[in-house]
Amino acid sequence: MKGQGVKPGVPDLCLPVPRFGCPGLWIEMKTANGRVSPNQKDWIAYLKGAGYRVVVCRSFDDARAVLLDYLNPKVPYSPEII
């Protein structure tokens, strides 16, 4: 992917749909025991600082729940909650 111009550490999935003042959602997919790399931690901090919701998910079910909650929240998202 590096040859295609992808920067190291950028989260795997992006949903560029604004919700309740949040400009979008980024999801980093990991296995149950997978670790977040230093580059990924830097990107996550940068994106959160820019107001995005960023979540590390460890299964399809986790990612599905995060997506559904983001698109149809019971309570509007607050960046302080993460």
**Residue 1: inside a domain, yes or no?**
no
Burial 12-30 (b: 16+ CB within 10 A, else e): eeebeeebeebebbbbbbe
**Residue 3: inside a domain, yes or no?**
no
Structural domains in the chain (count):
1
Residue-number span of the structural domain to which 65 is assigned: 8-74
**Residue 53: inside a domain, yes or no?**
yes
Which pLDDT does position 82 carry in this prediction? 44
What is the pTM (predicted TM-score) of this model?
A: 0.83
Give percent of the chain above pLDDT 70.
88
pLDDT in tens, 12-49: 999 999 998 899 999 999 999 999 999 999 999 999 99
State the Cα–Cα distance between residues 77 and 59, nearest whole angstrom. Answer: 22
The CATH number assigned to the domain holding 14 equals 3.40.1350.10
